Structures are given as structure tokens and as C-alpha cells.
Chains A and B, each alone.
Chain A
Amino acid sequence: MQRNITAQLICAHAALAMAVLMGVALLLAGWVPPPSPAMNALDTAQMYTAGGNKIRFAALLMMLGATLFWPFAVAISTQMKRIEGTMAQPLACVQIACATGTVMAIIIPSALWLVCAFRPERSPEIVQALNDLSWMFFIGAVPPALIQVLAVGWCALSRSGAAELFPRWYGFFCLWTATGFVGGETVGFFHTGPFAWNGIFAFWMAAVFFFGWILVTWWVVMHAIRSPAAETSGAVSL
């Protein structure tokens, strides 16, 4: 039975490359935490002028990192399909579909950062608007990631045979991650404080959960890929 283990593993390991690229990008741009929403237009424009090539390069790394989430999402869904069986794999498809939302929520800001840094002479009001747009996506576009994580968690918890591939604790971990993501939903309401896009809950808590979930999921998926037991034990259908 052709299982393409190597290809699956490569897709799974994309998670690590993604985490590294995204982390390096944010650090390079000096955006840990992100710039304050309370900054005025002039300071925002100045940030991009001063950031120059660092921001441009960070945007490239971020875009590449985000793209690598797609193969990682495929690796996750490939395991989910083993759990859901041959008749229908709705949760696996929901995960992939929502992963696209999560990826675009990072690719679009990357393009916007390139635009902001592209013409230093641009009007500060325009730069601020584009900057606002970028963080509304990057931090504020939570729903795709939320549903993505819930789909994986539900898949892990709902079928009795699932535990051979996705341990029970992983399912609950996904639910806990979803709770940690919720803090970013209200970035549109606040310019300062813990729920602003640079705040304790919207940024720090969500970032810890996001990267934490990627690493934990990478680990779980890696083990699931190498596990032939699910099919042979009959816990899941071939």
C-alpha cells in the first residue's frame, strides 16, 4: 500500500520552517510586539522609512513562512482523513479550507508591508491606513484559524479510533488553543491595552498559542504519519 511517507513527512516538517521564518521575520522588522495602534500617521510612516530593507526582507520571509503552512495543513488533513474514513472526510476538508484563510491572513499583510516600505515619500495618512489594514489581517483575522483548530480538535475527540493517531490530550489541546485565539478578535475596538493588536491577549497570548499549536501539531502529525497501526488494527478504515 503506497503511503508516500517521505512526502508526508516533508509536508509536516514545513511546520518548523514556517515557525522559524515567521519568527525571524517579526524579529527582523522589530515587531515583537507589533507597533502600537496608537501611533500617529507621521510616526507610522517614519517607522517604514527607517525600517527600509529590514521590513522589506521581513515581509518576504513572512510570505514564504505563511505559504509553508499549506503543505503542513495538507499533512494534518492527510491524518484526519485516516481518522474520518473513506466515505466522507468533512473535517479534513474544513481544516484545509480554513488553512487557506489563515495563510492569506498572513500573506496579505506581508504584501501590505512591502507596499508601505516601497515609496518612502508616500503620504503618511495612506501609510497609516495600509499599516492598519495589515495588522487587522495579521492579528485580527482570527476566525479562519479558530475554525481550523476546532476542526482538528473535534476530529481528534469525536471518533473512538482517533486516539491511535491523534492522542486524546491533543484534541483537548486544540480546544484550549481555540480559547487562546479568541483574544485577538476585538483588535478593531481598541487602540491601546491588552486587547489592542500589540496587547497581552491579542498579540502575546495568541502568538504563544499559535506557535505552540504549530510545534505540538508537528510532533503529533509526525508520529501519526509513522504509525501504520491505525489501519492494521482496524480502528480506522483503509
Chain B
Amino acid sequence: MSARDSVTWVWLLLLLITAGSWAVGSHVLLVANHLLAVGAVLLFTCIKMHLVICHFMEINHAPGWLKLFCNGWLAVLFFSLLGLYH
């Protein structure tokens, strides 16, 4: 039996990040530095996606090629979108 229910902790963390960005979101986007605001939103989005990929989809226990593809996909999206929205 698993002592640590990691899936539940991950879910709570995801809710926290989502709820947090809801509360803070409108203020963050008024930050003077636009790139910082965009970067922050993208960063938290990618963190959430990383959590879902690693813990829900169990990629953290997957073979190297699968980890590489998934994290590579995240990286491509993060940097491309950051570049497009700066």
C-alpha cells in the first residue's frame, strides 16, 4: 500500500497554482514588464503541464525516449510562445 498518495498532492498543487493565478492573474498582467508577465503565465502553465505529464501520465517512470519527447514538446512550446509574445 502506498503511504504517500502523490497523485493527490499533485492535484492539490495544480489547484493551488490555478486558483492562485486566477486571484493574482489580472494584477500580474498589469506588471510593467510585459515579458515578465508573459513569462510568468507561460512558466506556471508549463509547470502544471509538467506535473500532469510526469505524475498523472506517469512519464517520470517511462523510458528515456518518451521523457525526452514529452519534455521536449513542453520546451518547444514554452520558448516558441515566449518568443512570439514578447
- Asked whether any CB of A lies within 8 Å of a CB of B in the complex, the reply is no
Residues of B within 8 A of A (CB): none
Residues of A within 8 A of B (CB): none
